[in-house]
Amino acid sequence: MEEKISRRNFLGSSAAVAAGFTILPSTVISGLGHKAPSDKLNIAGVGVGGRGNGVLKAVQEENIVALCDVDWRYAKGAFDTFPNAKKYWDWRKMFDEMINDIDAVVVATADHTHAIVAAHAMTLGKHVYVEKPLTHTVYESRLLTRLADKYKIATQMGNQGSSGEGVNQVVEWLWNNEIGEVTKVEAFTDRPIWPQGLPTPAPQPVPDTINWDLFIGPAKMRPYNEIYTPWNFRGWWDFGTGALGDMACHILHPVFKGLNLGYPTKVQGTSTLLLQDSAPQAEKVKLIYPERGGLAKSKIAFPEVEVTWYDGGLRPDMPEGWPAGKDMNDAGGGVIFHGTKDKLVCGCYGVRPWLLSGRVPNAPKTERRVEGSHEMDWVRACKQSPENRIETKSPFNEAGPFNEMVVMGVLAVRLQELHKELEWDGEKMKFTNIGDDETIRIVIEDGFNITDGHPTFNKTMTDPINAMAFAEELVKHNYRDGWSLPDMP
């Protein structure tokens, strides 16, 4: 394993950008996309096991020049697929050494490091593709949204359904007034399919194939255990966002786009046993969105709407008229739009939309159809200049605000011990009805036992925690020393 590197060169490069200098790659005017469509992008991957390898394979007709991962055993598949790419443990060292040889970056690390990698790549003028969820917090989502606008680079979140026909149809049917105005939406996933609702595990020795310090990154340090990574990170609050972060970015996208949503005004969450470190086994979240202005493409108004999310085996009741024997779960979840004239139903990724009435709409096709893959559509956008660019289907000016919806659900669940509907000021990124003196306590271990046939709990709880300070930390994490984000534009 390489020695822990100095950040001096990387931080120096970042300071130069902040001062107004632009580092120009040899193959492209950095961040401007002035590249002939026939030319190939030089792409680097950060987090290349699992989904990262999948994304890189989807764009492998381009030049994959660098691969970075904190777990070289898990990354072996990508290393074998792209043997000519230079390998790194630390993305900061990769940026230092290869800044002039990289045009675009694919980020598919654990949720808690999406923002820090992507944000620094963006300040260096690199196009970015970031797996879902876009970020771990509301603040990080807002930051990536604004950085994308400032640096005019091509962006895409990895919610592939946004490039699919199902989402196009849902949006077109809604906007063509096929079901009337929508005041209620229900959505669910069959996830999690990884462990959740677990107590904090005991420490284990760190394998030689993992750089644990780099995996932890900006989060608070904790001892290694094999349950944390790979993939299972989704079930641990410090690294993931539970089933919401995993699947809501796929399932709720047609809701966010089709109903022209912005910031919610109210939110509340409930769940099975809520632990300090691990996401619960099942949860329910309700978000209220205020009346929104109309869209030029739309024939309907957008009144106040209630969006309810279920996971962990929970799902909405079947509405009156539901076809007997038809499974509501389609490809991992589903959505029901309750309109004043009809109900629109679709599956995960927006697939196979249909109306409860049985009528088949014939709405105008107003949405752009993607030719090829979600990933290659991002490559196309990278090669276009900002003034002539046709946006991707999940650019950060949409994916950022949408991801705020997703992580807002996490906030609601983690603040449920306040036992009230929380009021949210989206512009200020602040809850407005949490008192300065309110506190919460969270379960560390449930202490479950069976004595003489009777189930008992002897819960270990945290000391009282100031609720406002806890909420502010969830909205904007305090990073570990040595790790920081670029300034908010």
Q: Is 481 exposed, middle or buried (0-12, 13-18, 19+ CB in 10 A)?
A: exposed
> Mean per-residue pLDDT for 95-112?
97
pLDDT of 81 over the 80 cut? yes
The C-alpha atoms of residue 403 and residue 429 are separated, in whole angstroms, by: 13
Q: Kindly report, residue by residue over 132-168, the tens digit of the pLDDT.
A: 999 999 999 999 999 999 999 999 999 999 999 999 9
In a domain, 338, yes or no: yes
Range of the structural domain that residue 77 is part of: 8-162+373-395
439: part of which helix (H) or strand (E)?
strand 439-440
Q: Is 186 in the same domain as 256? A: yes
> Is 16 among the domain residues?
yes
In this predicted model, what pLDDT tens digit does every residue of 280-290 receive, in sequence order? 999 999 999 99
CATH of the domain at 145: 3.40.50.720
Q: Tens digits of per-residue pLDDT, 438-485? A: 999 999 998 889 988 899 888 899 999 999 999 999 999 999 999 999
Mean pLDDT (the chain) is 93
Domain count, the chain: 2
257 and 332 part of one domain: yes
Residues 139 and 284 in one domain: no
The Cα–Cα gap between 360 and 362 comes to 7
Asked if pLDDT for residue 79 goes beyond 80, the answer is yes
Do 205 and 315 belong to one domain?
A: yes
**40 lies in a domain?**
yes
409 lies in some domain: no
CATH number of the domain where residue 175 is located? 3.30.360
Q: Exposed (0-12), middle (13-18) or buried (19+): which is 458, by Cβ within 10 Å?
A: exposed
CA gyration radius for the chain? Answer: 23
Q: In whole angstroms, what is the distance from residue 424 CA to residue 224 CA?
A: 36
Domain stops at, among 324, 355, 386: 355
Q: Same domain for 275 and 318?
A: yes
- pLDDT value for 122: 98
